[in-house]
Amino acid sequence: MKPAPFVHHAPRTLDEAVAALAEVGHDGKVLAGGQSLIPVLNMRLAQPAHLVDINRVAGLDTVTVTDGHVRVGATVRHAALQKNDEAYAVLPLLRQALRNVAHPAIRNRGTTVGSIAHADAAGEMPSIAVLTDAVMEIVGPGGRREVAAGDFFEGPLQTVLEADELLEAVRFGRFGSTTRTAFIESARRHGDYALAGVGVAVDLEGQGRDAIVRSARAAYVSVTDIPVVIDLSEAVVGQSISSRWDGIDDLLQAGIAPEADIHATSEYRRMLAAELTRRALTIATTEEDA
């Protein structure tokens, strides 16, 4: 199938993009990378009368690294952010997660901010947004506002964005120097949506093999309706980096409630999430390039 007819808008400035969205309202959709939107249009699961294409808007394709965050503009491609060495140096978790996003062809076109705005619980980047305490920079006819990642997602494919608003950028928060991260997922085939996935951030006390866990947090893929952060500290604080991470299963039994589908039962997804969490904790605390 092909998309239903629509009017294509190609603004050149952010003000023009906002004006176009204000004009079309609920009849419009924002087009950036299109790797989530175009399949939906092709299957006619959505039939907007207008597409506001922001690819020509100047200034949305930049990655900025500061002392507190990594700011990613709305048209930055997954591949560009994945290859950005400055961002990797201060926040390795971005690259760790991005290399799991679909296939290279999709990463070359798809946008990180667009993936977050799409709010698919099976997507990697919404989970990274909440794990890093990211801030969403939103612009609309009423001006600008900022929303914490934890307050941004309202449900599957649902966010606090109004129809006439644009997610201009996402500021991913940086971790302290003693925090190590890792991201791991399991899919039926490489590039498929994950059956389950997890990103972890582990704060360590001490050096080398004598280091112990001071705190740990995790965010999950494909096992919650919206991306949430689970504090793992209760199960792992005080354990050495050679630990078996006992207690993870009981913690996730209460913390996540994955749905069953044709690929996996709810219980299998919960068990898989727990095993992936143990592996991610081990990777984060023992490998040089997690």
Query: 3.40.50.980, 3.40.47.10, 3.30.465.10, 3.30.1380.10: which CATH number matches 63-173?
Result: 3.30.465.10
Q: What is the pLDDT of residue 290?
A: 54
Residue 244 has pLDDT above 90, yes or no: no
* Domain over 179-286 is classified CATH 1.10.1370.40: no
Residues 33-47 have a mean pLDDT of 94
The CATH architecture to which 7-53 belongs is 2-Layer Sandwich (3.30)
Q: What is the pLDDT of residue 1?
A: 72
pTM: 0.96
Model confidence band, residue 287 (pLDDT cutoffs 50, 70, 90): confident
Residues 60-76 have a mean pLDDT of 98
Q: What is the mean pLDDT of the chain?
A: 95
Q: What is the 3-state secondary structure of the chain?
A: CCCCCCEEECCCCHHHHHHHHHHHHHHEEEECCCCCHHHHHHCCCCCCCEEEECCCCCCCCCEEECCCEEEEECCCEHHHHHHCHHHHHHCHHHHHHHCCCCCHHHHHHCEHHHHHHHCCCCCHHHHHHHHCCCEEEEEECCEEEEEEHHHHEEECCEECCCCCCEEEEEEEECCCCCEEEEEEEECCCCCCCCCEEEEEEEEEECCHHHCEEEEEEEEEECCCCCCCEEECHHHHCCCECCCCCCCHHHHHHHHCCCCCCCCCCHHHHHHHHHHHHHHHHHHHHHCCCC
What are the residue boundaries of the structural domains of the chain, listed by start?
7-53, 63-173, 179-286
Residues 256-278 have a mean pLDDT of 94
Model confidence band, residue 207 (pLDDT cutoffs 50, 70, 90): confident
> pLDDT, tens digit, for every residue of 124-174?
999 999 999 999 999 999 999 999 999 999 999 999 999 999 999 999 999
